[in-house]
A and B are shown apart, each in its own frame.
Chain A
């Protein structure tokens, strides 16, 4: 039993955190909805991401644990760049047998792909009908399982300010893809769930850190509000949720690497069922602790709450996971 990140993974987390924080400073919610920076990274940001190797690590035999180290930082800094989308699209293409040239071009940031998900975001899409291109700001193409490439349409309305979902446009070329088979399809689902969970952990951790920092400094009645028991009780409960969510993420990521595919999906669903509502609640409580300032457009608090809701929906919210787990646990009578 060795539950935690190893030395290399901790070093990788630090490197990721540094660039993620930098990328975050290039983006601003602005003064209002019409003034917000785009979710699409500019050329400089994209080249930094490419240089960091973030788009290629999934193709470089990184473990799922490694990927979660990166994604947690993307969530923590609410990074406005389609890295998670690229990782999910690239892994789908790799398991579908896409050529090495294409994978290299994706890893090198030259071909910008987005994952084709069902419109309800609960899994990869089987066909382009009733599907969307998720986390696709700046992407050029998304692929159906049959290998058909599709142009991307306009951004669809969405709560998340740092990632965009776009409509699927007309066909654009064709790749020779094969069905990855049940085992690999389950692995893709486990990966998607686990990365969503990692993003949620990062977002909720940042929300709590921000709220705690505020509570230390904001003075009322002549004392920092963080010295009041009512404030401390809320913050402490948030930390319990964060710590439990980290344990859930660690297990989900380990299971995706180490367990048979069906068990990996069950572990990932269990983790997501716990972390999704916990993350939203922590982001909500953070706004409560920030008070009025947390309700302003300029505050990052709503940016995090928006992203938490989006990642909660990604590969299914807690209700969706519990429906699946109910069947597994309770059988026919549990239907």
Chain B
């Protein structure tokens, strides 16, 4: 049992800290997704991080990664959060889908841009009629010679407004049962027939979009692996979507907590005994979440994702309730954290709702029968 870094990880962490100390100030300002200028600053940051060798390090070196275990990805996310740097580009799961399933030609063509962050990617999964029941999706790709003709609609596609490429989950095998009829295509977002419409969220965020496909022609060479394995690839991606990224999220929750603690500690924010107790309970929660995420990285592959998502939801939503309660009336009088609170309500919806995650845990982990 050892929660401490191995000497190799400690060296890696120290190297990253040194790099951040030397470069972060140059890149940290003005990043975000709320304006063209902010987006440009964010992409510049992603390229700097990639150039320094801190993006998708768990991928094999031949594709531009460093062939390191997942724990290194977690260290990167943890250190970026610690330094209050903008987050790393969320591309690990897309990179793994392509690196682990695509043919050599496609890999050679798209991985350098993806890993070097010179091209921007989005992931087209959810549809208006296929949310929790993702496998019921109806966006179709009809094979015509050496092309697919794509028709349909995606929603909740983060980064779609500025993405150069989309990793698209769609139905290509009309005669197959629902899970086996799906495939994964790499789609050029500048193709004719694609229309994007921005979705503005309740907190003002403009990260999401709807994407419409109307007779979009995509080379069959852009198929990831074979036709019909789309669901398998999607499930593989989910195991990479959380894990290491969770460590960064824990770090960011830690900053929210630390700011609230500082407000109370200095007396800037008056908190009575019950509220102080709830704040400290949040600190306990975040410590436990950090240990859980660390353990998931090394101790339990597979079942971890849904359990960790449920735990994160529980802990994050309580934290923002406490932050709001500490702020008192000020919370509804122009407090920036109100938007963060609103975003915390999405935690139990995106990436598989709380209800669906519980069902996955009950059926796949606890072995309860399907209804």
- A interface with B by C-beta (< 8 Å): 1-6, 63, 65, 208, 212, 215-216, 223-224, 226-229, 231-233, 235-237, 239-240, 243-244, 246-248, 250-251, 253-255, 257-258, 270-271, 273-274, 318-319, 321-323, 325-326, 329-331, 333-334
Cβ-neighbour of A216 out of B267, B307, B355, B367 (below 8 A): B367
Question: With A224-B369, A248-B288, A251-B291 in contact, is A3–B1 under 8 Å at CB?
Answer: yes
Could you list 12 further interchain pairs (A-B, Cβ under 8 angstroms) beyond the known A2-B2, A212-B368, A244-B292? Answer: A3-B298, A231-B368, A232-B362, A233-B358, A236-B361, A236-B362, A246-B295, A247-B292, A254-B1, A325-B284, A329-B261, A330-B265
Q: Are A244 and B299 in contact (CB under 8 A)?
A: no
Q: Are B307 and A240 in contact (CB under 8 A)?
A: yes
Hey, which chain B residues are within 8 Å of A224, CB to CB?
368-369
Q: Are B369 and A233 in contact (CB under 8 A)?
A: no
Q: List 28 A-B contacts (CB under 8 A).
A: A1-B2, A1-B9, A2-B2, A3-B2, A3-B294, A5-B1, A208-B366, A212-B368, A223-B371, A224-B369, A226-B362, A226-B369, A227-B371, A231-B368, A232-B358, A244-B311, A246-B295, A247-B292, A247-B295, A248-B292, A250-B291, A251-B291, A258-B4, A271-B288, A325-B280, A329-B261, A329-B283, A330-B261
Complex CA distance for A237 and B366, rounded to whole angstroms = 11
Q: Are B277 and A1 in contact (CB under 8 A)?
A: no
Cβ distance B184 to chain A, nearest Cβ, rounded Å: 29
Q: Are B295 and A3 in contact (CB under 8 A)?
A: yes
Cβ distance B321 to chain A, nearest Cβ, rounded Å: 17
Nearest 5 A/B pairs, CB to CB = A232-B362, A236-B358, A226-B368, A236-B361, A247-B292
Q: Are B288 and A240 in contact (CB under 8 A)?
A: no
Complex CA distance for A233 and B353, rounded to whole angstroms = 12
Q: Are A216 and B368 in contact (CB under 8 A)?
A: yes
Cβ distance A11 to chain B, nearest Cβ, rounded Å: 15
Q: Are B366 and A243 in contact (CB under 8 A)?
A: no
Cβ distance B62 to chain A, nearest Cβ, rounded Å: 27
B71-93 CB contact bits vs A (8 Å, 1 = yes)? 10000000000000000000000
Q: Are B2 and A215 in contact (CB under 8 A)?
A: no
Question: With A1-B9, A1-B294, A4-B299 in contact, is A330–B365 under 8 Å at CB?
Answer: no
Q: Are A270 and B288 in contact (CB under 8 A)?
A: yes
Complex CA distance for A330 and B285, rounded to whole angstroms = 16
Hey, which chain A residues are within 8 Å of B371, CB to CB?
223, 227-229, 232
Cβ-neighbour of B1 out of A227, A250, A325 (below 8 A): A250
Q: Are A334 and B264 in contact (CB under 8 A)?
A: yes
